[in-house]
Structure 1
């Protein structure tokens, strides 16, 4: 038996001991069941019939075990907002409605709503979440500072990355640039951008340039809202090419993500293929946000209403790294959701002409290994020795069925510790006149 690494030692030689062992886990539909030994918060070893003991052992009994889910794009500060929908339901309307609601935000209100979503996310198997709190003259740094507090409060149960996000624009909302700098100095992990929320294409490009300048100044990754429209008739929503150009120019390959990117689907095939290849070559990831994208899209159409989502299969074919996420939860942008990333993955499959074991397994990867790469944690992530022991035991028995079965998250493990579990009893009554009873 291979010895575990020094970073994740067992306590004694011989029959080894671990902190936690998962027995008979399904991690690959084409391979045998395995045991997973966990020590010092990391995976020490995986293999069949490991001669390891632990005070806590879980018999998975053939159930699927996946790495912890990664929510790569969520607006915790704006979640669970009560509002009356009176506008036209467009993106612009959602931004305007939320801008008014933000005037009444307090640290307590943000904390309460965000905490509820984080607790839901944990029970649904999310172990890392990248949050995009607004930074603007309306709300200042209230969202950033509140989420910094929650990052500490939830340490050991879920990891939070915090994005300083200029929802109202940078140049359209004077004072935002100084706030972004302050937020990054105070501990935000990522610089965000809202590339379309400026008054002209020129200002949108300046917005992108400024975001990359801040990324260089503070040594942080970039996460942009971009190209979020039904088509490219407004050139402010056709900036993927420019983002790729700036990424290459600044040497930021692998550290840039674009959220939404719905207008990519409206480009003519040859142009779309060119742009997707450009994104792949530049090392820019794309994160579709299907619950929001479907809800806000096509609002001006009166027939054959467009349901724009970034073209996932074409992104795969072009070699663009892709993830997906919940984005907004129960507000003007998305009036649905409960921070269940597998539910979002099934919705993405249903709305993107994706089906079959190969597609569904790849969608699961978009919520696990691919999302981990998008947000920069791939070096310590996965089902391998030395990776952080962030794991989820599902109630299904095939990896390919992890979306279809809508499985319970039987155990959620963070850093080798069980942080949530779901126990459910389902009973089927016997047919009338049948012997036996329940």
Structure 2
């Protein structure tokens, strides 16, 4: 026997733990394990590699875990950026191009903050840190939109077996900066707008939007076959919008509304003006059937409407055109109805909301509800002339010499 020490072999692994060997080509340890058999009886083998035996076994363990959870091959290499880009390219459905651009902008925050994080290693801490970093510079709405984009992207990844849980759903959106508050024209301002903008080409658009309460996206898609100026009362059927699908925002938004006399009058004038534009344009006229068009009959885009609206407001001294957008005509409609005593249920029905909570949330600054039901009922129950206003309560204590007064 020699004094040379014989190297000990590593202990034999238990059945089912797999095999570890040195791969000369990779110059790494490789661990393999049979995890099952396919429909043809062929072995399903998972592999993991590392610079040491333990590293290779750990890599194999993670691969086996992913397989047992039903995750797709390559899930261990998928990053947050990968699933966000996949959602932007293929998960949008039928949405407007502007919506896609907004989502791309929101996803840029995700890509810059946690895009390089492996999806399988994404934690609530990563998401919370990302959203918290936006608190000082972005509104609560923007932060919520970023969270919603990330949530949708990971849900899509779950449906494709790239991850087995969605940590975004466990994160609460933090409060950011105060966003731009919605506002509406006062009654005096509204009357001035209706009076002083008559000569502008946007006048009909302004009147119908303010006095009927139609969304700007619905106004731009309004066609003459949906307008009945000869019925009693005159009506407008709001069934379309400029959204990619052509449909209104919700099914509840499909509605037929009666129009006030001023709106009917300006629409008749609008039809005459459009006929004049058609004659002037000649062969260049595009017959789209739209109510509100350019001088060539083509559809107005959002920039056309915004510029035209602000140009019209230049004739109104009491408002600063740069501070107003066309959508605030609808806010003004809600404000005027509320000031006139309309119940929030009636307002929600007219503006096309599915329930009053939407109206109260979006137009909370415009609503001035005075709940009169209780007062009206009690006036009938206990009228002043019945109870008598000269009510009297006997004092508990009397001064010396003060006589008791009899009351009927």
Normalised by the length of structure 2, the TM-score is 0.21
Higher share in strand: 1
Q: Which structure's relative contact order is higher, taking Cα pairs within 8 Å and 6+ residues apart?
A: 1
Higher share in helix: 2
